[in-house]
Amino acid sequence: MTVTTGTADSALKRYYLSAITDQLNYNANPFLSRVRQTALNVEGKEIRKLVRYGMNGGVGAGSEDGTLPVAHGNNYVTLTTGLKNLYGTLEISDKAIRVSSTNAGAFVNLLDEEMETLVKSASYNLSRMLFGDHMGTLGKVVSTSGHTVTLDSAQNFTEGMVIDLWTAGGIKKETGIIVKAVNKDNNTITTDLTLTSAEDCVFFVSGARGNELTGLKDIFSTSNIYGQSRSENVWLQPYMKTVETLTEEEIQLAIDKIEERSGGKINFIICSWGVRRALVEILSKYRTIETIELEGGFKALSFNGIPVVTDRFCPKGTMYLLNTDDFVLHQLCDWQWLEDEDGKILRQIPGKPVFTATLVKYADLMCYRPCGQAMLSGITEK
């Protein structure tokens, strides 16, 4: 079989798309794998979800011949957010296609390698967004020295990232900066540019500022959310507590408070590596530590039957206690390839002997009941 861009297009559509979709939806992140995904409530470029809070006031008790309770309607509010544009791009050189044009096996290996790289990059960014804010903040500059930048945290950075630098006042300072090296122990990155007068400036993925998913940093915030005021809607306020020393009692207190406030039940716990080590130290003193097998092949510790997982993007000293039933990823469609007017996926980059294909998804994350979620922060890590 002779391999052409046409056969490559066909392979991307028929064989790779479903596999990529499954990997990104169910294997990219244990939290994401538990979040329901739906195309409902998408109106134009917005997601508008009518949610009920509180209870109907027309329920009560009375005397045998007394007046019946007066019926009252349910309490509703509309949560609104815009669809975020999520992209993943791969490139295949014309030379690579021609070299494998008479060897179908070699071409399959080429596509497999490209798909693996695309999935890894997309999974990395999806996981990062889940723990971030809609602005897409990566980190703030503390100081610079030549190509070395010291940050408040290098947790969200990895080699090869292309980033933009913005001032604290929201003015773009530099664009298209390439991250060459990352030292997470020292919270430093090495860039291809020499940055000066950058103190207190903020890094974002190139072109992504203000365009990322509504993540846990947004949920656990005092700012308004989904177009609604938190001060006027107390049920939009999650449980947040600073806890220096982690104990079973503090974890159980947070779980009890959530059940008391919202009637919901915590079914998933996410924490940083150091917090998990602290939890292991606590649990191992009194019992054999149990594990749970999760969907997507993930394994988790068990805290009274609740799975406890770690994530490299979870802020240090932090534990999230979540009811994943309250989270939904609303999407216009699932992952799809961008196609031109002729239905082609692979397109030549103008002026270059390179073909590119772009994976796309339009979606955003909604939490219908923030009051049913808890965060413990400030925990001393082990």
Q: Which CATH architecture has domain 216-327+368-377?
A: 2-Layer Sandwich (3.30)
Q: Contact 311/31 with Cβ under 8 angstroms? A: yes
- Helix residue ranges, H only, the chain: 5-11, 17-22, 30-33, 94-99, 104-131, 216-219, 248-262, 273-283
Which pLDDT score, from 0 to 100, does residue 343 have? Answer: 83
Furthest-apart CA atoms within the chain: distance in Å: 90
CATH number of 137-205: 2.40.30.10
Q: What are the residue ranges of CATH 3.30.2320.10 in the chain?
A: 216-327+368-377
Q: What is the mean pLDDT of each run of 10 residues along the chain (382 residues)?
A: 73 86 88 94 94 66 67 79 92 80 74 86 92 95 95 95 95 95 96 93 95 96 94 93 94 95 92 95 81 79 91 96 97 92 86 90 96 96 92
247: its two tokens? 């104990």
Which pLDDT score, from 0 to 100, does residue 3 have? Answer: 63
- Cβ-Cβ contacts under 8 Å for 166 (sequence gap 6 or more): 172, 173, 201, 202, 203, 204, 209
103: its two tokens? 């060897």
The residue to which tokens 């179908």 are assigned: 104
Domain 5-52+75-132+330-365 indexed as CATH 3.40.50: no
Q: What are phi and psi of 140, to 5 degrees?
A: -105, 140
Which pLDDT score, from 0 to 100, does residue 207 have? Answer: 93
Which pLDDT score, from 0 to 100, does residue 138 have? Answer: 96
Q: What are the residue ranges of CATH 2.40.30.10 in the chain?
A: 137-205
Q: What are the residue ranges of CATH 3.30.2400 in the chain?
A: 5-52+75-132+330-365
Which pLDDT score, from 0 to 100, does residue 109 have? Answer: 83
Which pLDDT score, from 0 to 100, does residue 61 have? Answer: 67
169: its two tokens? 């006042």
Tell me the Ramachandran region of residue 254: left when phi exceeds 0, alpha when psi lies from -120 to 50, beta otherwise: alpha
Q: Contact 145/329 with Cβ under 8 angstroms? A: no
State the DSSP string of 117-184.
HHHHHHHHHHHHHHHS-TT-EEEEEEEEETTEEEES--TT--TT-EEEEE-TTS-EEEEEEEEEEEET
Q: What is the pTM of this model?
A: 0.89
DSSP helix/strand/coil, 82: strand
What Cα–Cα distance (Å) separates residue 290 from each residue in 162, 285, 287, 300, 323?
Answer: 41, 13, 9, 9, 21
